[in-house]
Structure 1
Amino acid sequence: MPHPAVLILEDGRAFRGEAYGARGTAFGEVVFNTSMTGYQEVLTDPSYSGQIVTMTYPLIGNYGVNAEDEESAGPQVAGFVLHEAPPAYSNWRAAESLDAYLQRHGVIAISGVDTRALTRHIRSLGSMRGAIAPAEVDADELVGQIRAQPQMAGLDLACGVSTDERYRVPPAGETRYRVLAYDFGVKSHSLKLLAQRGCEVTVLPATTPTEEIVAAGADGLFVSNGPGDPEAVGHALDAIRALSGTGTPVFGICLGHQLIARAFGAETYKLKYGHRGGNHPVRRLSDGAVEITAQNHGFAVRGDEGGIPGAPELQVTHMNLNDGTVEGLQHRERPVFSVQYHPEAAPGPHDSRYLFDRFVDEMERRARGMQVDA
């Protein structure tokens, strides 16, 4: 028997539907994702911590879930919103239904929502706080509770999703390079792509002191994606500056891109409704090629026609073709580069996986230079 539920936003707008997944009340920032597939990767992406994710594609759950598509130890979203939950699922890899998966992990969701109207509302007024709750809830009381929740701006959520202890990911084959991965919410697919390129990856907690990172003597530093406001993660900036100052290649994505920008003097700001999905066009300025990219972020690096204000050492390498925001940077002298999007693309297109090869090339170039100097 269906259990009526409601999604209420902080401005009082209500969207009614049916309870899906676990029962109860969930609070978070309501955002939308335009991916047509990959809902399990979306659910398990640590960058969605603290957010209620709305899927704009109308049929979600039709191929079930499986253990292989997890991007972390389990779901990271605060809640989940979908238009239509198919009554059956079918895929040779599927192990259980999406509904059972959400129930097992305690994720509160709602189906039957007019997700098109919800998305238009967010696009017009911006991402806002909200809650999924049973339909009989006192709406005025719930709105008060929603408005008492913290704003996303100023929140350090990365430490909450980072690993507590360092761990090692072995290379696929012979070890070519030793890479440190600064974990602010790293996805397993990024680590897999590094391992496939011969990297032995040591994943570090977000709170690892700068001295330990520099003393490790690694061949490269990977600065991961993650949730929250980059301005609240200031402890990472010293490590990025210090390690890159030794000539060690540094590669950052998403939150890592924002932290690299801030490490060299740039500012970041909150976008109206963010970029989330697998179909965002980005122009590579070096040759004009357009990459279709996977994205998930609510903050961006501030840029203008002259480059990056406050950070003359940084050069813009990629631009978003939808709104002109900065999508990629590189340091003019140090082997440091970053992109705002997700080149591991889980889910999403594979146009940008060459960036992992570039990271390996930078480490190879440094190794050759050290051999010549010796």
Structure 2
Amino acid sequence: MKPAILVLEDGRTFAGTSYGADGETFGEAVFTTGMTGYQETLTDPSYHKQVVVQTAPQIGNTGVNPEDDESDRIWVAGYVVRDPARRPSNWRSTAALEDRLAAEGIVGISGIDTRALTRHLRSRGAMRVGVSSLDLDPESLRARVLEQPPMTGADLSAQVSTAERYTVAAVGEHRYTVAALDLGIKRNVARRLAERGVTTHVFPATSTVEDLLAVGPDAVFFSPGPGDPATADHPVALAREVMRRQMPLFGICFGSQILGRALGFGTYKLGYGHRGINQPVLDRTTGKVEVTSHNHGFAVDAPLNTVIDTDFGGVEVSHVCLNDDVVEGLRARDVPAFTVQYHPEAAAGPHDADYLFDRFVELVEKRA
């Protein structure tokens, strides 16, 4: 086993062994608390430019397979695990996780105390990091870590977006058409819509409102994605154009932050973010608490307990994280638009929030 090191920008260093591809990588160190779904995490475009630390100690037990990918490649900048599986064991597995990482050039490290690393990030905040099996000198590697750009101010959504429009057909009878702006969309979004009779046209992040309207959509969707929403001026302007036309609009995660900006709110960077599949969120519409999947390092800055007057009428916070009172959703009262900060399309789960796709379809039905 080849030795490797992980060095954070504040100098904290962990020694382990190379996992995946040999080499060197840099990014923002973040941790995710999911005990399952590591393949979906790796292929989620929202993790672009991030080195992901798995808090679950054993990773790779079920191998990998083609069906569970959320995109056409692995997007994480690097991967950190404690105890990788020596041999995958699952009837759906077609390859070992480490072999997949190596094949796609993903540099990782294993055998380190991920609990200590997670506690450090939780107390100090997400920060820049380097992982290397080439340069084992902590000071040398740290010097290059400090040369890397931070996540604040990073404009990344166009880097992960589709280059060409494509279509995901409805399953069974076609009912409605949705134009989806791809800011880092996951495959399961279109699948969830397709099961409800929705045909989804997925557009590049640079698309105009005329591009979207050309397919005759009944509604518009803004996808999840990576980076700082404060840099995404084009999608914000596009969201405002959609709302001016009174067209139903739904945004998830990065899309929620974009709609938040379009409604006049600011955004800010969370200390260490929400990442995992066990986050409790209150749906204020129903009073129910959902266990939800999260992957966001930024959030919308909006008052929790009042209706806010905006250019598009009244807006209220519809969902709140019960761990820290972070805004997890917005609902416009006077235009057909709503958002959630978390992931109702979650795979491998949980599925408590799957009803939000029904809510989206109901919004379209009311406008039909």
**What range describes the TM-score normalised by the shorter chain of this pair?**
over 0.9
Is 2:24–2:131's contact at 8 Å kept on the other side of the alignment? yes
Task: Tell me how far apart the structure 2 counterparts of residues 90 and 26 of structure 1 sit (CA, whole Å).
Answer: 29
Q: Distance in 2 between matches of 1:74 and 1:193?
A: 21
Structure 1 CA distance, aligned partners of 2:307 and 2:209?
25
Instruction: Judge conservation of contact 2:308–2:315 (CA < 8 Å) in 1.
Output: no
CA-CA distance at 1:240 after TM superposition: 1.2
Partner of 1:353: 354
Preserved contact between residue 5 and residue 138 of structure 2 (Cα < 8 Å): no
- The answer (yes or no) to whether the contact 2:267–2:298 under 8 Å persists in 1 is yes
User: Which letter does structure 2 place at the counterpart of 1:74?
Assistant: R
Q: Count residues in correspondence.
A: 366
Of all paired residues, the percent bearing the same amino acid is 50
Is 2:283 the counterpart of 1:252?
Answer: no
Q: TM-score, normalised by structure 2?
A: 0.97
Whether the aligned pair in 2 keeps the contact of 1:221 and 1:248 (CA below 8 Å) is yes
2:183 is aligned to 184
Corresponding residue for residue 160 of structure 2: 161
Secondary structure, in 3 states, of the residue corresponding to 2:145? Answer: helix
| 1:108-119 equivalences in 2 (<5 Å) | 108-119=107-118
Question: 2:355 is aligned with what amino acid?
Answer: Y
Alignment of 1:235-246 (within 5 A): 235-246=234-245
- Return the offset for 1:217: 3.0
Query: Which residue matches 2:71?
Result: 72
| 1:278 partner letter | I
CA separation in 1, counterparts of 2:187 and 2:204? Answer: 15
CA deviation profile, 1:98-157 (whole Å, cap 9, x unmatched) = 011111111111110100000000000000000110275232121111111011011111
Q: Check the 8 A contact 2:305/2:317 in 1, yes or no.
A: no
Q: Which amino acid aligns with 1:19?
A: S
CA RMSD of aligned residues (A): 1.3
What does residue 294 of structure 2 align with? 295
Equivalent residue of 2:84, what SS?
A: coil
**Structure 1 unaligned blocks of 5 or more:** 368-374
Q: Secondary structure at the match of 1:297?
A: strand
SS in 2 for 1:300: strand
Equivalent position of 1:197 in the other structure: 196
Instruction: List per-residue Cα deviations over 1:144-200 (Å, max 9, x = no partner).
Output: 111110110111110000000111111111211111010000000011111111111
Contact between 2:308 and 2:314, CA under 8 Å: does it hold in 1? no
8 Å CA contact 1:294–1:347 kept in 2: the answer is: no
What SS is found at the alignment partner of 1:351? coil
Structure 1 segment 263-342 matched on structure 2, within 5 A: 263-307=262-306, 311=310, 313-342=314-343
After TM superposition, the structure 1 stretch with the greater mean CA deviation from structure 2, 229-238 or 210-219, is 210-219
Match of 2:53, SS state, is: strand
- For residues 139 and 245 of structure 2, what CA distance do their matches in structure 1 show? 56
What residue in structure 2 maps to residue 41 of structure 1? 40
**Matched-pair contact (CA < 8 Å) for 1:42–1:347:** no
Instruction: Provide the rounded CA distance (Å) in 2 between the counterparts of 1:159 and 1:309.
Output: 31
**Secondary structure in 2 aligned to 1:313?**
strand
What is the aligned partner in structure 2 of residue 225 from structure 1? 224
What secondary structure does 2:130 align onto?
Answer: strand
Q: CA offset at residue 209 of structure 1?
A: 1.6
Unaligned runs of 5+ in 2: none
- Opposite residue 332 of structure 1, the aligned amino acid is R
TM-score normalised by the chain length of structure 1 = 0.95
Letter in 2 for 1:359: F
Letter in 2 for 1:140: E
What is residue 170 of structure 1 aligned with on the other side? 169
Residue 308 of structure 1 deviates from its aligned partner by 7.6
Instruction: Tell me if structure 1 keeps the 8 A contact 2:24–2:134.
Output: no
Q: How many Å separate the matches in 2 of 1:134 and 1:217?
A: 52
- For 2:31, give the aligned amino acid: F
Return the letter of the residue paired with 1:334. V
CA displacement at 1:305 relative to structure 2? 4.3
Give the conservation status (yes or no) of the 8 Å contact 2:23–2:134: no
Give the Cα separation in 2 of the matches to 1:182 and 1:159: 11
